[in-house]
Amino acid sequence: MRTAFIQALNELADNDDRVCLIVGDLGYSVIEDFANRHPDQFVNAGVSEQNMIGLAAGMALSGKIVFTYSIGNFGTLRCLEQIRNDVCYHRANVKVVAVGGGLAYGNLGVTHHASEDVAIMRSLPNMTVVAPGDPVEARLATRAVVAHDGPCYLRLGKAGEPVVHTKEPEFELGRAVTVRDGSDVALIASGGMLATSDKVARSLAGQGLGVRLLSMHTVKPIDREAIARAATETRYVFTLEEHSVDGGLGGAVAEIMAELEPGHAPLKRIGLRPEFNKTVGDQNYLKALHGLDEETVLKTIQQIITRSYGRVG
Amino acid sequence: MSGNGQASDDDLRALARRLRSHSLRMISQAKTSHIGSCLSVADILAVMYGRILRVDPKRPDWPDRDRLIMSKGHAAAITYAAVAEAGFMKEERLGEYARNGGQLYGHVTHVGVPGIEFSSGSLGHGLPVGAGMALTAKRAGKGWRVFVVMSDGECDEGSNWEAILFSGHHQLDNLTIVIDYNKIQSLDFVDKTLRLEPLADKLRAFGWSVREVDGHSVGELGRALASLPLESGKPNAIVAHTVKGKGVSWMEGKVLWHYRPPTPEELVTALAEVEAS
């Protein structure tokens, strides 16, 4: 995803000298090409995230479109107040980019696990929160946040995420992409869980279930209409994210569904348990501990449907 | 246009007196804090808005304007008074200060207040933003300058030192900080809280050019700020030695007046003292 992001950003910067990139001394083997091609549009702020966001706000308030780039928590939580006051309050045209969303840096430690970032970013006024689901969406999201005048948070995975979209989907901030349609269950996924959800959806469909898979790449502003339709046109809604079940995509969907008229489908949030990991593991290992591997997700969904409706399919 | 360089030292002293009087009235009427912080920075703001800043009150968004960021956002009353005196808004609007339904919050706020470049209130935010502006101007070859007015207590914030390191490295000589060094922070004297000395040497060690001045001498402030950059290729720091509560004898140098608003009776004697100065 980060490769798709930086390629798209490079192309955007070629054609628009307002597009700038500030890194917090991170991005080895990712940002060099941008730095060489656009030296006047590039800054390495050093290991100083508060200053990085302040700089970005100052540059944006002087007419630039500024991307900041760091690892999950460093570029978001360390400098949260700068993002709130300097960027969001001033509607500065800053795009906060985090790589390693979720457990991408699994074995590097809990400091590197970005598991609350979406919840925190989406609580900020004026902030748009985007978690693309595959490299294709990452490229489209990069273009979309440049076109959007205002603060954005772009949450990326790392490298090597599988491509889900075989052809470019229609991509609009705030509008879910319907990857597959059906009326038995709805899977609403964001970020890197899109690929897992796609596989699970295929398995469920193979068992005769009508599965609707929505890529909810924009967590804020969220696509209320798509959620309301899923909740009234299908029998069970599942959210899938590599993020705490508290306050992220699942939280956002729950907020919408809680205010719908009675009689809609129930919701199950599938995501990270809201606790610090105690066991060392790479991304896939830790995801499995949280039940986010394909097999466990499939089993979880099947059990819930069987319990509620007596059978799958 | 404000700050056209025509104002005499006497004009600036008169402006500083008006800024002090406005602040006393606003803070007393609204019963808010930070009169001491307003009074210490009065002469600095008078020189900035009265002579130094190239801004146009008719075009607050003029792209080539100088930018002033009031990073010590608690000195809000005097900042609003300064932009009103500079012609960005009508003086009557000062009555909105910390008043229900108004737009002049108790910490510096840009929303609905022309002439306010940046909202502050949480300390340590102004300088990184100013550095980003200065870097943008420099890379674009533009002549506009960036000024950040800071408090001494604010120098406790690590974000400032990140930006001080950055600005020295990037040789942002179009960036100037003016530190209102009134020696008192929120709860106590700076020296008893977190010692800043030797402040000027610290800044020099980070690659800045530093001038220490009497922050209540419009002449000294004016001369220092008229000869920017102090050194080519270095950001500028004006360490302005000031007195908290300056201009009202019984407020001067007292921690109490960081928070206490003057009563209506105290306001009368304070105004009399300021106007007679």
Same domain, A105 and A184: no
Q: Is residue B4 part of a domain?
A: no
Structure tokens at A211: 């599965």
Q: How far apart are CA B63 and CA B29, in angstroms?
A: 36
Residue B150's alpha-carbon distances to A127, B72, B177, B180, B191, in angstroms, are 28, 5, 7, 6, 17
Of B63, B120, B132, the CB nearest to A56: B132
Q: How far apart are CA B185 and CA B189, in angstroms?
A: 6
Are B133 and A81 within 8 A, CB to CB? no
Rounded to a whole number of angstroms, the distance from the CA of A238 to the nearest CA of chain B is 40
Q: Is residue A248 part of a domain?
A: yes
The pLDDT, as a whole number, for residue A312 is: 60
Q: Is residue B185 part of a domain?
A: yes
* CATH number for the domain that contains residue A233: 3.40.50.920
Q: How far apart are CA B272 and CA B168, in angstroms?
A: 44
The 3-class SS string of chain B reads: CECCCCCCHHHHHHHHHHHHHHHHHHHHHHCCCCHHHHHHHHHHHHHHHHHHCCECCCCCCCCCCCEEEECCCCCHHHHHHHHHHCCCCCHHHHHHCCCCCCCCCCCCCCCCCCCCCCCCCCCCCHHHHHHHHHHHHHHCCCCCCEEEEEECHHHHCHHHHHHHHHHHHCCCCCEEEEEEECCECCCCEHHHHCCCCCHHHHHHHCCCEEEEEECCCHHHHHHHHHCCCCCCCCCEEEEEECCCCCCCCCCCCCHHHHCCCCCHHHHHHHHHHHHHC
ipTM above 0.90, yes or no: yes
Structure tokens at A228: 């309301």
Note whether B119 contacts A: Cβ–Cβ < 8 A: yes
Q: Which of B192, B213, B190, B209 is nearest to B201 (CA)?
A: B209
Q: Which of B120, B155, B137, B160 is nearest to A50 (CA)?
A: B160
pTM: 0.97
In order, the DSSP letters of chain A are -HHHHHHHHHHHHHH-TTEEEEESS--TTTSHHHHHH-GGGEEE--S-HHHHHHHHHHHHTTT-EEEEEEETTTTTTTTHHIIIIIIIITT--EEEEEES-BTTTGGG-GGG-B-SHHHHHHTSTT-EEE--SSHHHHHHHHHHHHHS-S-EEEE---S-PPP--SSPPP-BTTB-EEEE--SSEEEEE-TTHHHHHHHHHHHHHHTT--EEEEE--EEES--HHHHHHHHHHSSEEEEEEEEETTTSHHHHHHHHHHTSPSSPPPEEEEEE-SS---S---HHHHHHHTT-SHHHHHHHHHHHHHHHHSS--
Q: Is residue B268 part of a domain?
A: yes
Residue carrying structure tokens 């709130």: A84
Note whether B235 contacts A: Cβ–Cβ < 8 A: no
Q: Is residue B2 part of a domain?
A: no
Same domain, A52 and A135: yes
Burial of A268 (0-12, 13-18, 19+ CB in 10 A): middle
Does residue B192 have a pLDDT over 80? yes
Same domain, A34 and A149: yes
Rounded to a whole number of angstroms, the distance from the CA of A12 to the nearest CA of chain B is 19
Number of folded domains that form chain A: 2
For chain B, what is the mean pLDDT?
Answer: 97
Domain residue limits at A115: 2-155
Domain residue limits at B174: 9-276
Same domain, A266 and A232: yes
**Helix pair angle (B9-30, B218-226), 10° resolution:** 110
State residue A58 phi and psi, 5-degree precision. -60, -40
Q: What percent of chain B stands above pLDDT 90?
A: 97
What region does A307 belong to: left with phi over 0, alpha with psi -120 to 50, or beta? alpha
* CATH number for the domain that contains residue A11: 3.40.50.970
Which amino acid is it at A129? V
Tens of pLDDT, residues A5-46:
999 999 999 999 999 999 999 999 999 999 999 999 999 999
Rounded to a whole number of angstroms, the distance from the CA of B135 to the nearest CA of chain A is 8
The pLDDT, as a whole number, for residue B161 is: 98
Same domain, A105 and A185: no
Read off the pLDDT band of B4 (50, 70, 90): low
Q: Is residue B110 part of a domain?
A: yes
The pLDDT, as a whole number, for residue B6 is: 81
Q: Is residue A102 part of a domain?
A: yes
Same domain, A126 and A190: no
- The rounded radius of gyration (Å) of the Cα atoms in chain B is 17
Q: Is residue A163 part of a domain?
A: no
Same domain, A13 and A137: yes
Structure tokens at B7: 């104002």
The pLDDT, as a whole number, for residue A112 is: 96
Same domain, A200 and A144: no
Beta A19-23 vs A42-44: how paired, if at all? parallel
Q: Is residue B1 part of a domain?
A: no
- The alpha carbon dihedral of A240, A241, A242, A248 has a sign of negative
Are B132 and A59 within 8 A, CB to CB? yes
Structure tokens at A234: 């299908």
Q: Is residue B237 part of a domain?
A: yes
Same domain, A137 and A205: no
Kindly list the residues from chain A whose CB atom is less than 8 angstroms away from the CB atom of residue B165.
46, 48
* CATH number for the domain that contains residue B38: 3.40.50.970
Q: How far apart are CA A84 and CA A62, in angstroms?
A: 18
Are B139 and A82 within 8 A, CB to CB? no
The pLDDT, as a whole number, for residue A313 is: 55
Q: Which of A71, A158, A82 is nearest to A110 (CA)?
A: A71
Same domain, A94 and A211: no
Burial of A36 (0-12, 13-18, 19+ CB in 10 A): exposed
Same domain, A151 and A206: no
Kindly list the residues from chain B whose CB atom is less than 8 angstroms away from the CB atom of residue A89.
119
User: In terms of CA atoms, which chain A residue is nearest residue B139?
Assistant: A40
Beta bridge partners of A155: A98
Question: Domain boundary residue among A155, A185, A208?
Answer: A155
Number of folded domains that form chain B: 1
pLDDT mean by block of 10 residues, chain A; 313 residues: 96 98 94 96 98 98 98 97 98 97 94 97 98 98 98 94 96 98 97 97 97 98 98 98 98 98 97 96 96 98 91 60
Q: How far apart are CA A256 and CA A27, in angstroms?
A: 36
Of A46, A55, A89, the CB nearest to B119: A89
Does residue B67 have a pLDDT over 80? yes
Which amino acid is it at B175? L
The pLDDT, as a whole number, for residue B175 is: 98
Note whether B137 contacts A: Cβ–Cβ < 8 A: yes
Rounded to a whole number of angstroms, the distance from the CA of B161 to the nearest CA of chain A is 9
Tens of pLDDT, residues B80-112:
999 999 999 999 999 999 999 999 999 999 999
Are B129 and A55 within 8 A, CB to CB? yes
Q: Is residue A70 part of a domain?
A: yes
Same domain, A149 and A186: no
Q: Is residue A128 part of a domain?
A: yes
Angle at B137 between CA B237 and CA A42, to 5 degrees: 105
Q: Which of B242, B251, B241 is nearest to B274 (CA)?
A: B251
Q: Is residue B41 part of a domain?
A: yes
- The rounded radius of gyration (Å) of the Cα atoms in chain A is 19
Does residue B2 have a pLDDT over 90? no
